Each structure stands twice: as C-alpha cells, then as structure tokens.
Amino acid sequence: MKPVNSEWFTEYCEEGGSAFSLQLKEKLHDETTPYQRIEIYATTHFGNLMVIDGFVMLTARDNFLYHEMMSHPALFTHPQPRRVTIIGGGDCGTLREVLKHPGIGHVVQVEIDERVTRLSEQYFPELCESNRDARVRFDFGDGIRRMKEAGAGSVDVIIVDSTDPIGPAKGLFTEDFYRDCYHALGSDGVLVQQSESPLLHYDSIIRPMHRAMRAAGFSDSISLQFPQPCYPSGWWTATLAGKKSVREFRSGDAGKKPFPTRYYNAAIHQGALAQPEFFLTG
C-alpha cells in the first residue's frame, strides 16, 4: 500500500495477486482526517492522483469512465429522474455528470468526509465545476443514516459512489441499507452502486450484492461492466437495481443526449447490459 520507491506509487491487490503502479512527479498533499488518510500526487502520465488509505480513488486521466457509467445508465433507465441522492462521491465527478441532465431538479450529495470534496476542489477543479449549481445541496454526514431517515418515495435515483466495502463503507453493501434505499425510492426508483471487479470480486461482492438487493425488495438487478485502468484488474462494474426492470432504458434520449460525454453513449449502455457467461451460470 505504499510507493515502491520515490518515483512510483503502487497499489497492491492481495486477493488478486497483482499490483498497479503509476509514475510520480511529486506529492502534492498528505493529511489524515478523522475518517481516513488522503494523499494527492502529480503523476507523469495520468494527471493528478487521489489515494485514500493506500487505495487509488481516481486519476485525472481515466476518471471519466467511472463517473459516466455511475450516472448516465441509471438516469436514462429511470423514465423521468428529477430527485437524485448521491451517497459518497466526494470528488464530485459523478455529481457533475448528473447535473448535465436538464430534467434534474434537486441533488443531495451525502459525503462523510468533507475534506475529500475540499481537496477535490483544489486538485481536481474540473470535476467540481458544478458544485455551486443551485440544484445541489451538500450533506457532509453518514449516508447510511441519511437513507434510514429519508421519506418514503422521496428520491428517484440513488447513486452509491462509495469506496470498497471496508471500514465505514461496509454498511453500504448490506440488505438493511438496500431496504432503506428501496423505501426512499419512488415507484420507478433506480439504485446504482459501484460493485468492484467482476474478475476478482464476483463471488465475494457482486453475487452477494444481487442477493441482498433482491431480498430488500428490488424486482430486478444487473451489473454493467466497463474498463477502469487504475482499479484492480482494470475491469469494473456498476450494479443497477430497480423497482421495475433495469434492462431497458430510454435509448432514444440517450442517443440524443444534449451534453458531451467521453465514453457513455446509447450503444455503450446497450453493450454494458450484455452479461458474461459466468454471470449467467455462476
């Protein structure tokens, strides 16, 4: 979980028997908050890098893959999303993508560690360009408690943009949490959550997530795959769950989206719905 020398940062993935390294220019920031250690580096090829507790959170170069797939598929799956809650997402990249949708009326972002957001504003300003949008309210607190207290049917889409299911984030991967999300969602409600690597975490995280989501009341769930070079294995997922089917989406609207993206489009969305054989048989 530390640089192998003064010029490289390396994240070791013990369960995968692998590691990922980025060449560094310099360390820009290092602090320990009440919740975690946050480090910011300048890299030679991936722009600025944020590391939390030794794990790569994002780089300037490839974060668009993750943020677009955490937001647009869910929003184009819901028939008319207006009220969105983001749990986590302190770097504000997902928030920026959500606010590209003109129909969005209100977004609450619940991030437990305000320092993630403040450091993102400093070192990743391109991700925070919508932070002053009048439709946004920041709630620096516990997302699990927020969902437990949310009113019935008060949200259209919930986006769980969390860290790995360890420490404070562990409770975001439980049936109890999904049940609270189900209660908070309207009749067409959609939940999406980052769900790790299908190569490394299918049995340990992805399959249990689907079981817990269904047990909490969701009628459908599916994991969308996409590349993510800076995360273990380079292959990542976002898992959708809905009160109705999440296997169809507003493809016409996605095809005519009135905003730019770098990865997401209607064809990418359709392709991401295709499931690897081991998802179907495992």
Active site residues: 161
- Tell me how far apart the alpha carbons of residues 27 and 7 are, in angstroms, rounded to a whole number: 10
What the block records as the tokens of 32 is: 């320990």
**Alpha-carbon span 226 to 4, nearest angstrom:** 28
Task: Please give the DSSP secondary-structure letter assigned to residue 207.
Answer: H
For the chain, how far is it from start to end, CA to CA, in angstroms? 31
Hey, what are 249's tokens?
Answer: 């989406």
Helix (H) or strand (E) holding 95: helix 93-98
Under DSSP, is residue 201 helix (H, G, I), strand (E, B) or coil? helix
Cβ burial of 31 (10 Å; 0-12, 13-18, 19+) is exposed
Cβ-based burial of 265 (10 A; exposed 0-12, middle 13-18, buried ≥19): middle
Q: At what angle do helices 175-184 and 207-215 cross, to 10 degrees?
A: 50
Residue 113 tokens, joined:
């560690």
